């Protein structure tokens, strides 16, 4: 009787175990999601970089234009 019970338990457990194919499928899914996140981060980096360049250009022009106008008006 114990042998039958062990066999039944092992069969039930084996149905719930992950197979190598399950793990490979999960790995493929995780890899795809990580690649998607990396792509989004790269796109975000580009947008932040462009914003910083625009901010710096605005600051430079805000400071330089009045100085240039002041210099030109004195000549």
Return the DSSP state at 1: -
Would you give per-residue pLDDT tens digits along the chain (75 residues)?
Answer: 689 888 988 888 888 888 888 899 999 999 999 999 999 999 999 999 999 999 999 999 899 888 888 889 886
Cα 62 to chain centroid, rounded = 35
Domain limits of the chain? 20-74
Structure confidence at residue 18 (pLDDT): 82
Q: Can you tell me the distance from the alpha carbon of 57 to that of 65, in angstroms, rounded to the nearest whole number?
A: 11
Structure confidence at residue 75 (pLDDT): 65
Structure confidence at residue 1 (pLDDT): 64
Q: Can you tell me the distance from the alpha carbon of 30 to that of 24, in angstroms, rounded to the nearest whole number?
A: 10
Structure confidence at residue 32 (pLDDT): 97
């Amino acid at each position: 009787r114990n042998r039958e019970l062990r066999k039944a338990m092992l069969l039930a457990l084996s149905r719930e175990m992950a197979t190598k194919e399950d793990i490979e499928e999960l790995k493929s899914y995780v890899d795809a999601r990580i690649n998607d996140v990396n792509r989004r981060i790269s796109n975000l980096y580009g947008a932040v970089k462009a914003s910083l360049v625009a901010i710096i250009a605005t600051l430079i022009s805000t400071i330089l234009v009045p100085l240039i106008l002041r210099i030109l008006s004195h000549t």
